[in-house]
Amino acid sequence: MKFLRNLLASILGFFISLFILFCFFLLIAAVAGGEEEIIVKQNSVLELDLAKQIKDYAPKDTSPIAQALDLADEKLSLNKILNAIDNAQLDDNIKGISIKTNAVGAGMAQTQAIRKKLEEFKESGKFIYAYNDVYSQKNYYLSSVADSIFLNPVGQIEFSGLSSEILYYKDFEDKYGVKMEVVRHGKYKSAVEPFLENKMSDANREQITSFLSSIWSEFTSNISKSRNISVEQLNTIADNSEGRNADLALKNKLIDGVIYQDQYDEKLKNVVDSKPNTISLEDYIKSGKGRISSTAKDKIAVIYAQGEIMYGEGNEDVIGQGMINRAIKKAVKDKRVKAIVLRVNSPGGSALASELIWRELELAKKEKPLIVSMGNLAASGGYYIACNADLIVAEPTTITGSIGVFGALPNAYELSKKMGINAEQVSTNKSASYSLFEPMDKKFYDVTKEGVEQIYTTFVNRVATGRKMTFEKVDAIAQGRVWSGKEALENGLVDELGGLQDAINIAVQYAEVKDYRIRNFPNYKKDIKDMLNFSPFGKVNKEEIIKEAIGSENYELFNQINRFKNMEGIQARMPYILQIK
């Protein structure tokens, strides 16, 4: 017995020592890895590198473990980027901005918001230059705001208009005997069309053409104004790919010079009248310039709803009614919060979770003004939670609408037959049921269809009440159809065009306050399991490992399949995985 007691004491002592040693190493890592103070020097040029993923709201992980082990996700926050450009406009040490990024990790509406902020920066009289070896179309759209754009002599500009590609699986399903059983409402609700057809329907082609044309019109009109090139000429350039090399790009006035990197650095030196001190956007934000300081007592709450909508708690990447509704309640309870701005960036998802969030917002609206700001996407469930606001603001390039619902279940009946598998069921009652290995029977279809129709009717009624429209009018522009923000303004789904700051300004007017500060919600916290979820290969999570192994495009295809696998219940979701190129 004494031996066993001593053995247990030794084991316990070992683990206690191991824990103390782990804490000791964390302390050393935290001290050694402490960030040194960043000073913005005189004659500085702010360099914009936007290649990392940009989220509407990406709060810094302040946990000591994440900081000590450098486990924080690599992403940029849109609100901090916009604040940094605002601060740079008034910062005497910042002489200008250099846009030098290989890619733009932002969506269409986010990119437009950054571009607008850069236009405001130019009003200060400070310069903006841009340089790159190769400009993607989105990168060129952003960079076209610059006073001067330069390109490497062997570089090119991808300027060929917008396109979208959708994969269709009907023939694949027929060949291998695995398919999706679908129940839907809305002739435009094409989230499930790829599983029902082997080519694009006329209705789907109509809506994609419409919103792509609307977004392209916004792109070309913005570029036309900045570059003094007519929209007609820009379309000719796009039709003939006349930015495909540096000489053609210069001839067509897409750029102002063909130079090498060292020559670009010399131009920056000349415009600053001395050797410039280049400071990266991330360092500028770390210096404290990623926030707008205010001592005001009154607050405007900005609640970020970003990601797919799923029933449950939610996190930084997924909208769950648990986390969002707590944030709404906190904003309502805080007496210093005078108005709420809901920032929506979502393709939709669970209809049930959307309804629960809608209800909490409906209660909040009775207490305080509620304004919605739409980001890249506010579609289907994303529009569901936005529709009851006092006022809705969207970017012209926002994808919104998609008022429709569907249900989809995988079915492997034909595959099981080919493999010689037979499924037999025993039940105590005759209620409608579904099996992966049997065809969907009429009774189950009828019950599911009834649920889809009920949720669609509820969805349309929510929109009709929130937008002060008749059911029939909403139904006419619903049916699952997707619209650009510009189109949504014309058909009454949004009230104004603009960005997050415009929505905040409107909220300030509704609240009748003069001085205010922003309070961001929700508070995202990671538990120890999440923070230590890394591999010995240096990747933070399994998604990063898969992405690196199979490539970005294949990862998107993998994600599409994974999304359908994880769907539970009836969905109010974007009609397809939208990839605009």
Report the catalytic residues. Answer: 189, 380
Contact residues for 241 (Cβ-Cβ < 8 A; gap 6+): 159, 160
CB atoms within 10 A of CB 265: 16
CB 264 within 8 A of CB 150: yes
The rounded distance, in Å, linking the Cα atoms of 49 and 253 is 24
The rounded distance, in Å, linking the Cα atoms of 572 and 455 is 9
Q: Which of 148, 120, 183, 96 is nearest to 447 (CA)?
A: 183
Torsion (CA) 349, 355, 360, 362 in degrees, nearest 10: 120
CB 40 within 8 A of CB 94: yes
Query: DSSP state, 155?
Result: E
The rounded distance, in Å, linking the Cα atoms of 132 and 136 is 10
Query: DSSP state, 192?
Result: G
Chain mean position to CA 382: 12
Q: Give exposure, 177-209, as e/b (b: 16+ Cβ within 10 Å).
A: ebbbbbbbbbebbbbbbbbbeeeeeebbeebbe
The rounded distance, in Å, linking the Cα atoms of 183 and 185 is 7
Phi, psi of 337 (to 5 degrees): -80, 115
Contact residues for 424 (Cβ-Cβ < 8 A; gap 6+): none
The rounded distance, in Å, linking the Cα atoms of 340 and 10 is 57
Q: What DSSP element (H or E) covers 54?
A: strand 53-55
CB atoms within 10 A of CB 111: 23
Q: State whether the Cα torsion 143-144-145-146 is positive or negative.
A: positive
Residue 161 gets the label, from left (phi > 0), alpha (psi -120 to 50) or beta, of left
Q: What DSSP element (H or E) covers 542?
A: helix 542-550
Residues 18, 20, 21: CA angle, nearest 5 degrees: 65
Q: Give exposure, 402-427, as e/b (b: 16+ Cβ within 10 Å).
A: bbbbbbbbebbbbbbeeeeeeeeeee
The rounded distance, in Å, linking the Cα atoms of 68 and 14 is 24
Q: Which of 524, 127, 75 is nearest to 281 (CA)?
A: 75
Q: Which of 169, 177, 179 is nearest to 199 (CA)?
A: 169
Query: DSSP state, 307?
Result: S
